[in-house]
């Protein structure tokens, strides 16, 4: 969706800076809608607490329980989590490929495969959309 909107921005305003207008406008509108519609808790919408809804036992905290600091939580649950490290390293390689394709694909499609600039934009747009099922 963003690539055609960015192209429309260039067409309407005539400068490459305008490719940012429509994505920014969409982000602002979605942020406002989220701010208006998003509620804090189920109780603020007149619903029962989630624990009551799912028939779960509520664990009440006592004041004698020791509170962990941010540093303790960060070191214990984030830095020492091997699965989080696996995901982070895998993400590095995904981004190497993604940014390589971002910078290389339009040039390759126009120079080697004979696409027009418009055609290479659409091909790259479809490449990005093909990533959605892969993410799911």
Q: What predicted TM-score, i.e. pTM, was given to this entire model?
A: 0.41
Do 103 and 45 belong to one domain?
no
Same domain, 43 and 90: no
Q: How many CB atoms lie within 10 A of CB 26?
A: 13
* Dihedral angle sign, alpha carbons of residues 27, 32, 38, 40: positive
**Containing domain of residue 100, as a range?**
69-136
Residue where a domain stops, chosen among 38, 60, 82: 60
- Regarding whether 90 and 115 lie in a shared domain, the answer is yes
Question: Please, are residues 106 and 6 in contact by the beta-carbon 8 Å criterion?
Answer: no
Same domain as 135, residue 85: yes
Q: Are residues 83 and 131 in the same domain?
A: yes
Q: Does residue 89 share a domain with residue 40?
A: no
User: Which pLDDT score, from 0 to 100, does residue 103 have?
Assistant: 83
Q: Are residues 84 and 40 located together in one domain of the fold? A: no
Q: Does residue 130 sit in the same domain as residue 75?
A: yes
The residue out of 24, 43, 60 marking a domain boundary is 60
* Same domain, yes or no: 48 and 88: no
| 117 Cβ contact partners less than 8 Å away, ≥ 6 residues apart | 106, 110
Show pLDDT as tens, one digit a residue, over the chain (136 residues): 667 777 887 888 888 777 777 778 888 998 999 888 887 777 877 888 877 777 777 666 666 567 788 888 888 888 999 999 999 998 888 888 888 888 888 888 899 999 998 888 888 888 888 878 877 7
Q: How far apart are CA 56 and CA 62, in angstroms?
A: 19
Looking at the fold, whether 32 and 85 belong to one and the same domain comes out as: no
Closest CA to 118 of 4, 2, 1, 35: 4
**Could you give phi then psi for residue 26, rounded to 5 degrees?**
-65, -45
Percentage of residues in the chain with pLDDT exceeding 90? 13
CA atoms of 73 and 80, how far apart (whole Å): 10
């Amino acid at each position: 969706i963003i690539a055609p909107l960015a192209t429309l921005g260039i067409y309407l305003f005539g400068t490459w800076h305008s490719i940012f207008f429509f994505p920014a406008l969409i982000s602002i509108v979605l942020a406002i809608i989220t701010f208006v519609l998003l509620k804090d808790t189920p109780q603020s919408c007149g619903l029962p607490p989630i624990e009551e809804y799912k028939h779960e036992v509520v664990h009440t905290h006592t004041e004698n329980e020791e509170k962990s600091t941010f540093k303790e939580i960060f070191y214990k649950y984030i830095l020492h989590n091997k699965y989080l490290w696996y995901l982070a390293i895998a993400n590095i390689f995904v981004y190497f490929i993604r940014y390589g394709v971002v910078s290389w694909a339009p040039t390759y499609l126009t120079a080697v495969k004979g696409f027009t600039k418009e055609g290479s934009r659409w091909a790259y747009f479809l490449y990005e959309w093909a990533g959605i099922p892969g993410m799911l």
